[in-house]
Structure 1
Amino acid sequence: MFFFFLFCGVDCITFMEVEERNVSSGYAKPPWIFKGRQLLFCFAFSALYQIHLVKASTARAFIPKEFRLVEAFGYTLGGFFLASYDDSPAGVFDELVMIAGIVWNPPTSCAWAARVLVNSNEACHHGRKEVGLPSQVARFSKKITAVPKRKRERAFGFLDTFGLGTTLSHPEDLMEVKVSEVDSAASANICNIQIRSDESETKLGKWMGPAIKMSLPSFSGNTKFNPNLLKYSCHIHCRVRPVSPAVVSKPLEDEADKNHTSQESLENERRLSVAVMLSKPIIALQFKDLTMQVEAPVVVHPSV
């Protein structure tokens, strides 16, 4: 579930061969186990993790003043994590984690979530109250269409070297995920995410990269539901491989959304979260057979 890890204080990594309500009994005692589906919305992976260059000025809006933002040349590392779970304390649900950037609290650096969107009331409640995450209930709408696939032409010579010499060939699948945040009876369109079926999957068959195990710390808290600054550990087991980045776009703004001046603070948070999603991607990773064990969070005190 709560997956903020690359370029954050990784304890260890090994490669192997091979509407709000009370929390259900599934969340009664930690650790909490989350398992990813074999297919992400009918695609052959469990989750997509995409790393972006996020403007430091955008990320700072989400970072507690007690922590220092890790930045260089005006940018930090953020992005998003999109996943589906078919086995969890909250049952089956989807999740989109918008990652603002990397924060530093000696001796550990971790990613900080700008927003966590889930289509499960129980997962939202637990994330807010127990783990200190900025969780919101959301709606995930998925559509898969066949689009023309690009095929390289040797005749283009030099252009083909840079992937510019292409013609349209057999179709490939394009998945579009529309994410809308739900607030009582109203909803707000957040973003659209387009993911193409990866060409390398056809060439490499079912190869999904090496199996890895990681033990990873994360920070959270500083919210109205949990004002403490927290730290918790995620133990992750999955298969991973690099893929082409997904394309993120912002849907057209509804007139109704523009006129909600009484919720300007909420709308500003949403706009900044979308800005994180729209920032420049630098790498995307697919995960398959994902299992995460999340430990109970503990209160941390900022280092001086």
Structure 2
Amino acid sequence: MEDSKVQLSSGYAMGPPWLFKGSALYQLHLVKAEIARVFIPKEFKIVEAFGRYTLGGFFLARYDDSPVAKFDELVVIAGTVWNPPTSCAWAARVLVNNEEACRHGRKEFGLPSNVGIFSEQKSAEVRVKSKNMYNCFLNMIGFSRSSWKEHTEVKISEVNDSNIMSLCSISIPYLEPKLHSDDRWMGPKIKMSLPNFSGRTIHNPLLLKYACQLECRMRPVMAAKVSGPTSNYGEDEPDVDCLNNSKLTEDKTLNQCISILLSKPVLALEFNFLKMQVNAPTLVVSHSKNNVAEDSGVFYERI
């Protein structure tokens, strides 16, 4: 299997690269490999830990500036697949509150994009003290779980035709920094690349690869608490193991997406002053060996 450097056409008014500015929360979870396999093509080998888990989670972003102005995005990450010498993420579902961004993600990137509704409110929170290993690490770098006083509750629903289905509620704790004299508490300036595979959807059956080039200030934060669609279950949160038997929707994959969101978090990173550049995706094709198709101008490399 190989990665063709042919760039696919743009769906936005302006061509690639596309620039997004804003902030985001990137949270990694331990996801059962059997759940991730529902979304990941069989030809890919899943990166597993402890024999049954992979790294999935979610990417929750608010873009203040983009090719389609402001919008919010939730990317549910099914898991991680091998792409020697590194690895790539695979998105199980994408929700955006902008129809043009939804169409672009579907057509050009082969993403499982849908239109969503994002509602946000801030709530007061009682101070809590904890001495586990992760919180001790936060204390060492200038943060303390016992200092956060409030959290932001983001409720996310999916719009399917005329139906609105509750997906989840994400409670993001606010961390009061110990340093107030400057902005160093927001973390160091970093540059990183987040590689991804996509495609194999009804809107784009091709297998694609793309990378998000990020520049931002990054800091570790307390993991956000994710709750399931409680309006469908009453006051209690749904049991993760029972989601597959529920009748939330005719789309059976929605239940697996909720399972991913409700899985155990292992790391949460906050991105501030985010600048994310996304180039047009490249086409992944099958090929027996590395070569250059000089007559067509297509360059192949093994992945």
Instruction: Report the TM-score range of the alignment, normalised by the length of the smaller protein.
Output: 0.7 to 0.9
Q: For residue 54 of structure 2, what is the amino acid of its counterpart?
A: T
SS in 2 for 1:149: coil
Structure 1 residue 251 displacement after superposition: 2.0
1:276 aligned to 2:260?
A: yes
C-alpha offsets along residues 210-265 of structure 1, whole Å, 9 cap, x if unaligned? 1011234321111111100001122110010101100001122549xxxx97962x
Q: Distance in 2 between matches of 1:188 and 1:244?
A: 28
Match among 38, 52, 58 for residue 29 of structure 2: 52
1:238 aligned to 2:216?
A: yes
Contact conserved, 1:106 with 1:303, CA < 8 A, in 2? Answer: no
Structure 1 residue 68 displacement after superposition: 1.4
Q: For residue 49 of structure 1, what is the amino acid of its counterpart?
A: Y
Structure 1 residue 82 displacement after superposition: 0.6
Residues 1-304 of structure 1 aligned to structure 2 (within 5 Å)? 23-25=11-13, 28-36=14-22, 46-72=23-49, 73-150=51-128, 172-199=149-176, 201=177, 203-205=178-180, 206=183, 207-252=185-230, 254=232, 264=250, 266=251, 268-302=252-286
SS in 1 for 2:230: coil
**Larger displacement relative to structure 2 (245-254 or 67-76):** 245-254
Q: For residue 224 of structure 1, what is the amino acid of its counterpart?
A: I
Q: Distance in 2 between matches of 1:273 and 1:232?
A: 22
C-alpha offsets along residues 173-211 of structure 1, whole Å, 9 cap, x if unaligned? 121111000012111000011111114x2x123421110
Q: Distance in 1 between matches of 2:227 and 2:267?
A: 17
Structure 1 residue 23 displacement after superposition: 5.0
Q: For residue 121 of structure 2, what is the amino acid of its counterpart?
A: K
Instruction: Give the TM-score normalised by the residue count of structure 1.
Output: 0.77
Q: Distance in 2 between matches of 1:131 and 1:34?
A: 16
Contact conserved, 1:78 with 1:99, CA < 8 A, in 2? Answer: yes
SS in 2 for 1:130: helix
Structure 1 residue 171 displacement after superposition: 7.8
* Unaligned segments of structure 2, at least 5 residues: 1-9, 131-135, 137-145, 234-245, 289-303
Instruction: Give the TM-score normalised by the residue count of structure 2.
Output: 0.77
Q: Distance in 2 between matches of 1:56 and 1:248?
A: 20
**Larger displacement relative to structure 2 (212-221 or 279-288):** 212-221
SS in 1 for 2:123: strand
* C-alpha RMSD over aligned residues: 2.9
Structure 1 residue 288 displacement after superposition: 0.4
Q: For residue 108 of structure 2, what is the amino acid of its counterpart?
A: E
Q: Distance in 2 between matches of 1:75 and 1:288?
A: 29
% identical aligned pairs: 57
CA 1:151–1:102 in structure 2 vs 1: closer, same or farther (change >3 Å)?
Answer: closer
* Unaligned segments of structure 1, at least 5 residues: 1-21, 37-45, 153-160, 162-168
Q: Distance in 2 between matches of 1:52 and 1:289?
A: 24
Q: Distance in 2 between matches of 1:107 and 1:151?
A: 41
